[in-house]
Chain A
């Protein structure tokens, strides 16, 4: 079973179960985790699903997709090395235990 932990800006954590194949964004919405708006539903058109991937998980989470960086660069909260659009991270067993931090503001 895949578990993902979402950490709010104030430090509160929520660990939820994910279905393989769902994105980190979809998993948040399915489990009522606040802080991810996901206006475009994963079409990489809105940048309101911004997360910071915990450093230990950066490699497993993979590289940014084409165009992702441009969207992140203009996202509401500051882009960092660990920034990803959570709709572009698909969950597999290899990501069991993934930790992501939510930014202050999404949109």
Chain B
């Protein structure tokens, strides 16, 4: 396919990257990128990091407006897609309809808003507009309560603490970032945040939010500002209405095609088979999103039938600590901490992930080790004293 009409729903990291990669691969047909936000496509990771301090929206922008003209990509901003009709291959958006030969779904996620009384007092941190609101609110605030001790909540907490605010994080689980890192890494970050002067409450479900703060586990935490960072939900409603298979995200095969061969899905909204295990996974990471975009662009432009095999990787900056994860572990995996602090996670006998803090070398080595879905055994790593280089492929 070199001339069909491609429509991309969602002008975030994934949608933009798909458009960029299609043109880089030499795609000549019309491309339309539709996004419901009013901003040029931007990166989200700095929203919970540098942006809160600098307020520089310019540096978040992924491409300037001229890019879209130069590359002949039609960009429709502030235009939510409201319906997909696979039978006629049409999407409806706020100001019209578009016919597609191939549709790419890159709708991302939205904040999970649990059923807590008074939650309307809490601010989200998902979009640029959210982050701007939060940044301004922080200027006058002295204390802040964060609902959720995952990556985003903790990154925000570190920034707020750095700005001198009094910070409390309430996490419902017994440990921090429980869904995504080993118990050892949770413990390490618990110490780091406490050493920064942040109050961390574990096993602390928030039962109420009000203008004065939050109530967690029966005790009141005063806060001028409450931030909600309790996870996200994939935007799958449109796909579901269109009759596409959904399974914790828009379900795709190893080619990132949905149950409709004229529709692909990428990024935070897509549930795809993990190359190492074949299990259906949904990753909320820039790496997965951009690698998805590249694979789809090669398929649509060059007819490539490659399967998706990229190694998952992720980073999170919390104060001076850069946490990096290579691979993909699940909470039940066995974790072994090397003397220098690197953590090796195993699913049964096989390496699933390596977690490091301020250790880019080990992180990059781990990424090379896991290339193509490779899963070295625990025996091998044990024999090498968990040093990666001697067994590097």
Are A and B genuine complex partners?
yes
Contact of A71 among B71, B286, B364 (CB under 8 A): B364
Binds A, one of B59-67, B223-231, B257-265: B59-67
Q: Is B253 on the interface with A (CB-CB < 8 A)? A: no
Q: Is B368 on the interface with A (CB-CB < 8 A)? A: yes
Chain A residues near B59 (CB-CB < 8 A):
22, 26
Q: How far is the CA of A71 from the CA of B59 in the complex (A)?
A: 22
In contact, B361 and A32 (Cβ under 8 angstroms)? no
Type the 1/0 row for A28-59, where 1 means its CB is closer than 8 Å to any CB of B: 01101010010111011111000000000000
Interface size of B in residues (CB-CB distance below 8 Å)? 30
In contact, A32 and B71 (Cβ under 8 angstroms)? yes
Further 6 A-B residue pairs, CB within 8 A, beyond A43-B49, A43-B315: A30-B63, A32-B70, A45-B324, A71-B364, A73-B361, A74-B365
Chain B residues near A41 (CB-CB < 8 A):
43, 45-46, 60, 62, 286
B155: shortest Cβ distance to chain A, in Å?
Answer: 11
CB-CB nearest 9 A-B residue pairs? A74-B364, A70-B361, A45-B315, A70-B360, A41-B43, A67-B360, A71-B360, A39-B290, A30-B64
Contact of A29 among B62, B71, B324, B365 (CB under 8 A): B62
Type the 1/0 row for B307-349, where 1 means its CB is closer than 8 Å to any CB of A: 0000001010100001010000000000000000000000000
Chain B residues near A30 (CB-CB < 8 A):
63-64
In contact, B286 and A40 (Cβ under 8 angstroms)? yes
In the complex, residue of chain A having the shortest beta-carbon distance to the beta carbon of B362? A70
Chain B residues near A73 (CB-CB < 8 A):
361, 364
In the complex, residue of chain B having the shortest beta-carbon distance to the beta carbon of A75? B364
Q: Say what secondary structure dominates the interface of chain B.
A: helix
Interface size of A in residues (CB-CB distance below 8 Å)? 20
Contact of A34 among B24, B45, B313, B358 (CB under 8 A): B24
Contact of B361 among A26, A34, A46, A74 (CB under 8 A): A74
Q: How far is the CA of A45 from the CA of B285 in the complex (A)?
A: 12
Chain B residues near A71 (CB-CB < 8 A):
360, 364
A45: shortest Cβ distance to chain B, in Å?
Answer: 4
Q: Say what secondary structure dominates the interface of chain A.
A: loop
A29: shortest Cβ distance to chain B, in Å?
Answer: 6
Q: How far is the CA of A41 from the CA of B71 in the complex (A)?
A: 21
Q: How far is the CA of A40 from the CA of B365 in the complex (A)?
A: 18
Q: How far is the CA of A74 from the CA of B368 in the complex (A)?
A: 8
B349-390 at interface with A (beta carbon < 8 Å): 358-361, 364-365, 367-368
Q: Is B109 on the interface with A (CB-CB < 8 A)? A: no
In contact, B64 and A67 (Cβ under 8 angstroms)? no
Chain A residues near B207 (CB-CB < 8 A):
none
In the complex, residue of chain A having the shortest beta-carbon distance to the beta carbon of B44? A41
Q: Is B287 on the interface with A (CB-CB < 8 A)? A: yes
Q: How far is the CA of A67 from the CA of B320 in the complex (A)?
A: 13
In contact, A39 and B358 (Cβ under 8 angstroms)? no
Contact of A74 among B46, B358, B367 (CB under 8 A): B367
Q: How far is the CA of A73 from the CA of B24 in the complex (A)?
A: 26
B45-95 at interface with A (beta carbon < 8 Å): 45-46, 49, 59-60, 62-64, 66-67, 70-71
Q: How far is the CA of A34 from the CA of B367 in the complex (A)?
A: 25
Chain A residues near B324 (CB-CB < 8 A):
45
Chain A residues near B45 (CB-CB < 8 A):
40-41, 43
Chain A residues near B317 (CB-CB < 8 A):
43
In contact, B364 and A70 (Cβ under 8 angstroms)? yes
Q: Please indicate which of the listed interface residues B317, B361, B364, B365 has the most CB atoms of chain A within 10 Å of its own CB.
A: B364
Chain A residues near B359 (CB-CB < 8 A):
70
In the complex, residue of chain B having the shortest beta-carbon distance to the beta carbon of A48? B290
Chain B residues near A37 (CB-CB < 8 A):
290
